[in-house]
Amino acid sequence: MQRQRISTDTPWESEYGYSRAVRSGPFVFVSGTTAADADGRVMACGDPYGQTVYILDKIGRALEACGARMSDVVLTRTYLINVDDWPHVARAHAECFRDVRPAATLIEVRRLVDPRFLVEIEVQAVLDDELR
């Protein structure tokens, strides 16, 4: 099975040795994604909703590069440094996935790689080429 790797050129991808997304056959895996741009600048500091919107947009671009769409997502995992932020994160998640309704997990973690990151999200998608 052929493997397609997608990079968004954030500084951590080469430093840590990972890809933003990997497609293998009909499966697409998007790595844990934070609200950092390609230069490593943190976006929407202090705003869990804004970070989630930014992250989901970034994930959408990675999926598109693999030939997938947000509607192909079957699982999301969301990591929060403060579970009390869940209503803000849930609002952005619901705006993006209201009709898709993937399986979802939300986990509170002690911290993320940069203290300005409030949210990190990873997704898995399955493409059904027969439906396209």
Residue ranges in the chain modelled with pLDDT below 70: 129-132
pLDDT value at residue 129: 67
Would you say residue 100 lies in a domain? Answer: yes
What's the rounded Cα separation, in Å, for the pair 18 and 11? Answer: 11
pTM comes to 0.93
What range defines the domain where residue 8 resides?
3-126
3 state SS of 60: helix
Would you say residue 11 lies in a domain? Answer: yes
Strand 103-108 versus strand 73-80 pairing type: parallel
Would you say residue 132 lies in a domain? Answer: no
Which CATH number characterizes residue 33's domain?
3.30.1330.40
Domain count across the chain: 1
Give Cα 25 distance to the centre of its chain: 20
Would you say residue 58 lies in a domain? Answer: yes
